Amino acid sequence: MEKFDVFSARDLRNRSGELLKDAEAGHVSLITKHGKPTILAIPFDNWLLSHGVHRAMALHLFASHQLTLAQSAKVANLSLEEFIELLGEAGVPAVDYPPEELDDELTVAL
């Protein structure tokens, strides 16, 4: 699973540099206040510029295995089919199975 750091509001005083390094490396981070999610920090990157905030957030969260395909489609405000097309445009695989696992799944399904 890709790196996903959580910072408390208090942490930001001492760890703001780490938050910036995460963003530069393309990692999404979560900032909390009193243990509740307050801010989702999304890297300002090509996905954000090309697709907008909702779609970029959905792409990042799906690519880092934080959300499922269906959940990511909802975040992006797209149908499942439209989100799968967006994944293709962004170069993100919609299915991330090792070949052996995919063969097993297909055997069970068929």
pLDDT in tens, 46-62: 777 777 888 988 998 89
Q: How wide is the angle at C-alpha 82 spanned by C-alphas 60 and 91, nearest 5°?
A: 45
Q: What percent of the chain has pLDDT over 70?
A: 96
Look at residue 40 and give its three-state secondary structure. Answer: strand
* Nearest one of 110, 20, 23 to 60, comparing CA atoms: 23
Q: Are 44 and 20 in contact (CB under 8 A)?
A: no
pLDDT at 1 over 70: no
The residue behind tokens 């395909």 is 69
Domain 5-90 = CATH 3.40.50.970: no
pTM score > 0.85 for this model? no
Question: pLDDT value at position 14?
Answer: 92
pLDDT in tens, 12-33: 889 999 998 988 888 888 899 9
